[in-house]
Chain A
Amino acid sequence: MELLTNILAAMVVAGTPLLLVALGELICERSGVLNLGQEGMMLMGAVAGFVVALTTGSLAVAVFAAVFAGIGMALLFAFMAVTLAANQYAAGLALTIFGTGLSAFVGAGFVGESINGFERVAIPLLSDIPVIGRVLFHQDLLVYFSLVAFAGIWLFLHHSRGGLLLRAVGEDPEAANANGLKVLVVRYLAVAFGGGMAGLAGAYLSLAYTPMWTENMTAGRGWIALALVVFATWRPERVLIGAWLFGAASILHLVLQGLGWRASTELLAMLPYVVTILMLILLSFDPVRTRLNTPLSLGQPYRPSH
């Protein structure tokens, strides 16, 4: 029981950065914009958060810095892909390459430094619930934020006018424009939100998960998030399941080694990626539900006619 609780708690922690970035990308894609720059935005968030935490000593300021770094990167992308209606795939890839390089450059002098990252905070009463209390309510603040963000996004998508606007713009920007909606504004906001969440996800890595900075420390999570959103058929509840599944699989090899299993480390390190995608492919098998949640205009630039 004790072991299971520990594994589940570690799963949530390992899945949180993926959850944050994937939720942001979900909102972005629901507006019809595909931003392949997640990895770059996450890295910029991670380095900005770490550098600010080290120089100011304040984790709160560091988190804000990370979020703004992500938003800044996202706005750069939005200018290319939304305002200039450039090819979204090319612009997103460029953003990742740019973010990878820039974060390495900025962080070069900070490799090997260390900070005191986020501590666990037990929520009174709730953390006393058996198993669930330890797993969900004895974590750090950013984990709590990811849960709140999940609930907020779920409500936003299904029960708010804003969510309706977002879904409408993502399905058919031409029709949305004919209905008097401001397509470009909605898309800008969605992209910026995605950037902020990616920055935060990066900060989680450098401020909580492993409080330090190393080059390329996101290790492909931005790419996994992109796949996660698609296979989760743009539904937040499935993004949550997928992210935690990824978390579970990524700590599994530690557990297995602890239990004395002998298997290739490389194979085990591959496991989370394979398990997550296989599971989500199986989940996304209902064509009607999938069709109802797919943003049809995804990846297509929208140019208002004159």
Chain B
Amino acid sequence: MTAALRLKLENIVKEYPGCRANDGIDLTVGAGEIHALLGENGAGKSTLMKVIYGVVQPDEGRMIWNGHPVTVDSPARAREMGIGMVFQHFSLFETLTVAENIALGLPADEARDRRKLDQRIREVSGRYGMALDPRRYVSTLSVGERQRVEIVRCLIQESTLLILDEPTSVLTPQEVTALFATLRQLSSEGCSILFISHKLEEVRSLCHNATVLRQGKVSGGCRPGEVSAVDIARLMVGDDTPISTQVSAAQAGDVLLGVRNLGCKRRDPFGTSLTDVSFELRQGEIVGIAGVAGNGQDELLKALSGEIRPDRGSMDLDSMRMNALSPAQRRKLGVAVVPEERLGRGAVPGMSLAQNALLTASGQDLVDRGIIRFGRVRAFSREVIRRFGVRCTGEDSTAASLSGGNLQKYIIGREALQNPRLLVASHPTWGVDVGSAVAIHEALVKLRDEGASILLISEDLDELFQLCSRIGALCEGRLSPLACTAELSIEQLGEWMAGGFDSGEASHAAA
């Protein structure tokens, strides 16, 4: 790059109690450069972004902006300077309209004339191919549309550096293509982009340069287009961690779970209703459900676990009608559930690992006539920790004290040790480090080989293609046909995720 330097960070240090999140980080981004910031969860990417955007103050180090040393003491200051940020969890207000959300970030005099602002939003969003209606409430927008609002907001503020935190994790493949086209257009106009991701193929296709972080330090830099994804992954995880699981072919047996025309009217006004969901799940196979968050995944999981009762249709486990059974009764039949939120639904944050084991595994002889047998609880918990390689100080550590990956290994292990016949897992490797993700994938495959049926709900398409024998997608509460992974193209799945399938036609393309 010959372009002028836009941002230069020198020796940034940020220390939190018990952890040095950023330990002497250097980073340079040129004008019009798309720069990738890579690293595992906990590598210090988020902290570094927050430092640049003025959300937190670094303990040491210098920041140079367009050639001048600066101190960014607040996000407002960062925006004045021309730094815009799109958070992974959007900082939008659901109860306000698109225009109101954008007006909040503008100086008062620019936001006063609403009609003019509406006009400007239409103009900017049109120019970059991101159609938006300024009058709609954010609560009615899809995740992809919300992201557009965030980006358009930054553009209207005339940002010259756009920070995007894992922007593609919530998009369909088609939306990703459209986003990349927008980003390339911005880059060609001189806007710098700091692109945070752990999806290496995307980084390779989009970014000019990359900086890789590991444990708070820069572990290397590269031109992503010129090296292989494996080389970059090595920089991210170090030399001693396996990068992916080898998955053997599944030997599917008889049908275990039959879901027919399942319908659930939404309870939460901003939730999704399930409509006519039908599928079959065989013993010894993993079936994947793809889809953008908020399209009924949570409702499907709850309907299967028994947290909500369906209004229509049927769910049969073997020949047992499950519709009216409580979660506890289903658990007795061998239904295990790993929900999306680890802290709060999968485990109680303030309770010890042993106590958390008791929550779902009490049927494993851990309770005798209402009295807890603590010896057995601890033994069970220790067994989970040992078998699944959970890194912790012991079964007495609280769930909240574990890292995401380790807690997830514990939760999956807790369910796996109960020999479930059906396991429903939602986003099991979301926000988990590569090492733990591999361990979790191995645990799922092992469970499958022991004859269990697994329903894997995930937004990570790589994960689905790697583990599942059949895949379908949820869109607005409807389920696409399920197709054999080997015969399914990523484009086809993308169309399904966007709703491109015939409703009600629950043909099992390759059942």
Contacts and interface: CB of A to CB of B under 8 A. Distances in A.
B84 to A, nearest CB: 11
Interface in A162-199: 164-165, 167-168, 171-172, 174-181
Contacts of A174: 91
Interface in B252-297: 269-270
Nearest to A288: B269
B105 A167 contact: no
A262 interface: no
Contact of B91 (A175, A291, A305): A175
Nearest to A294: B95
Contact of B94 (A171, A176, A178, A306): A171
A168 B105 contact: no
Contact of B56 (A288, A296, A305): A305
B57 interface: yes
Interface stretch (B71-79, B192-200, B497-505): B71-79
A58 interface: no
Interface in B92-149: 92-96, 100, 103-105, 108, 111-112, 137, 139
A170 B10 CA distance: 37
A284 interface: no
A6 interface: no
A148 interface: no
A138 B112 CA distance: 37
B93 A172 contact: yes
B87 interface: yes
A132 interface: no
Contacts of A305: 55-56
Contact of A168 (B74, B93, B269): B93
A287 interface: yes
B92 A178 contact: no
A179 B105 CA distance: 6
Contact of A177 (B75, B92, B111): B75
Size range of the interface on B? 20 to 34
A178 B87 contact: yes
A287 B269 contact: yes
Nearest to A159: B114
Contact of A161 (B53, B55, B108): B108
A291 B269 CA distance: 8
Contacts of B85: 178
Interface string A260-294: 00000000000000000000000000011001111
Interface string B32-68: 0000000000000000000001011100000000000
Contacts of B55: 177-178, 305
Nearest to B153: A179
Contact of B75 (A171, A179, A294): A179
A165 B95 contact: no
A161 B269 contact: no
Q: Which of A164, A178, A291, A292 is most buried by chain B, counting CB atoms within 10 A of its CB?
A: A178
B166 to A, nearest CB: 16
A35 B124 CA distance: 42
B76 A164 contact: no
A287 B266 CA distance: 12
A164 B100 CA distance: 7
A296 B103 CA distance: 20
A175 B91 CA distance: 5
A176 B269 CA distance: 24
Contact of B104 (A165, A287, A296, A306): A165
Contacts of B112: 161
Contacts of B111: 161
Q: Which of A179, A181, A287, A296 is most buried by chain B, counting CB atoms within 10 A of its CB?
A: A179
B292 to A, nearest CB: 21
B270 A291 contact: yes
Given A177-B75, A291-B270, A171 B104 contact: no
Given A161-B111, A180-B74, A287-B269, A175 B95 contact: no
Contacts of A172: 91, 93
B105 A180 contact: yes
A3 B87 CA distance: 62
A287 B137 CA distance: 15
Given A178-B55, A292-B137, A168 B104 contact: yes
A174 B91 CA distance: 8
A293 B95 CA distance: 7
A236 to B, nearest CB: 16
A175 B56 contact: no
A168 B100 CA distance: 9
A291 B74 contact: no
Given A161-B108, A161-B111, A179 B91 contact: yes
A287 B139 CA distance: 13
Interface in A124-170: 161, 164-165, 167-168
B96 A164 contact: yes
Q: Which of B53, B55, B57, B93 is most buried by chain A, counting CB atoms within 10 A of its CB?
A: B93
Given A177-B75, A178-B75, A164 B91 contact: no
Contacts of A177: 55, 75
Q: Which of B57, B85, B92 is most buried by chain A, counting CB atoms within 10 A of its CB?
A: B92
B108 A306 contact: no
B93 A181 contact: no
A291 to B, nearest CB: 5
A171 B87 contact: no
A306 B17 CA distance: 12
Contact of B103 (A164, A178, A288, A306): A164
A172 B90 CA distance: 11
Contact of B79 (A180, A287, A293): A180
B13 to A, nearest CB: 15
A292 B95 contact: yes
A86 to B, nearest CB: 21
A287 B105 CA distance: 29
Contacts of A306: 56-57
A165 B93 CA distance: 11
Interface string A83-118: 000000000000000000000000000000000000
Contacts of A176: 93, 104
Nearest to B137: A292
B104 A181 contact: yes
Contacts of A161: 103, 108, 111-112
Contacts of B139: 291-292
Nearest to A174: B91
A10 to B, nearest CB: 37
Contacts of B93: 167-168, 171-172, 175-176
A165 B74 CA distance: 17
A293 B94 CA distance: 10
B76 to A, nearest CB: 3
B301 to A, nearest CB: 22
Contacts of A164: 96, 100, 103-104
Chain A to chain B: the 10 pairs with minimum beta-carbon distance, closest first: A180-B76, A175-B91, A178-B91, A287-B269, A288-B269, A292-B95, A180-B75, A171-B93, A168-B93, A179-B105
Given A164-B104, A180-B75, 11 more contacts: A168-B93, A168-B96, A171-B93, A172-B93, A175-B93, A177-B75, A178-B53, A180-B79, A291-B95, A294-B95, A305-B56
18 contacts: A161-B103, A164-B100, A165-B104, A172-B91, A175-B93, A176-B104, A177-B55, A178-B55, A178-B75, A178-B91, A179-B104, A180-B75, A180-B105, A291-B270, A294-B95, A305-B55, A305-B56, A306-B56
